[in-house]
Amino acid sequence: MYPGILRLNWWHEEELGKLEKNKIVLHYLDGKLLKGFTWDFFPNKDHFHFFTMENTSDTPVKVSVKELKAIFTVRDFNGNPQYKERREFLEGEVVTGTKLEATFTDGEVMVGTTLGYSPKRQGFYIFPADPKSNNIKVYASCSAVAKVRYL
């Protein structure tokens, strides 16, 4: 490398170590699931870069948001299969945002809050009603949501 020349491979391991990585599970519209990391997902962009959990230092895959049902930001890739997630709000529970129930075109139902749903946007965040959920937040693609009901 020549002095004074910036490294153009933004995904270089040294640079990645300085950025906050998000553990995510990609749910594609066709049912495929991929687990890994991203450093550059933004809800107003139509693509982002993704590293599988096995290959965080390899060249990333460019992911088109239009191909996705949702992006699940998770605490743990395995979760707890025995845990039964709460799908309602407790009486008197203080929440931030608007309570809603989102039904996906594949029949999956999520209950949580959002800070800004608009069917005219590419997608929106859902924060699960259950604070012990393995999902921290979910970016739902509007094209994959059949119905939104405010609670």
pLDDT of residue 52: 87
pLDDT of residue 4: 34
Written as tens digits, the pLDDT of the chain (151 aa) is 333 333 334 444 555 455 567 899 999 999 999 999 998 899 999 999 998 887 656 678 899 999 999 999 999 999 999 999 999 999 999 999 999 999 999 999 999 999 999 999 999 999 999 999 999 999 999 999 999 999 9
For the entire predicted model, the pTM comes to 0.84
pLDDT of residue 21: 73
Nearest 5°: phi and psi at 82?
-80, -15
Q: Which of 37, 27, 45 is nearest to 104 (CA)?
A: 27
CA distance 141 to 22: 18
Task: Calculate ∠ Cα 125-127-133, nearest 5°.
Answer: 135
114: left (phi over 0), alpha (psi -120 to 50) or beta: beta
Q: Tally Cβ neighbours within 10 Å of residue 42.
A: 9
pLDDT of residue 151: 94
